[in-house]
Amino acid sequence: MNILVINSGSSSIKFQLINMEDQHVICKGLLERIGLSDG
């Protein structure tokens, strides 16, 4: 089973896709400065 974990803050989003059978991180990412003029 795969689990998508999302952590959202005021101007950033972090995410990971994890295979729970072997606790392997399939992918992860970070989006920063959301909504800011230089974002």
11-39 pLDDT per residue, tens: 999 999 999 999 999 999 999 999 988 86
Sign of CA dihedral 33, 13, 28, 7: positive
Provide the Cα torsion 28, 32, 35, 38; round to 10°. Answer: -140
| The predicted structure's pLDDT at residue 37 | 85
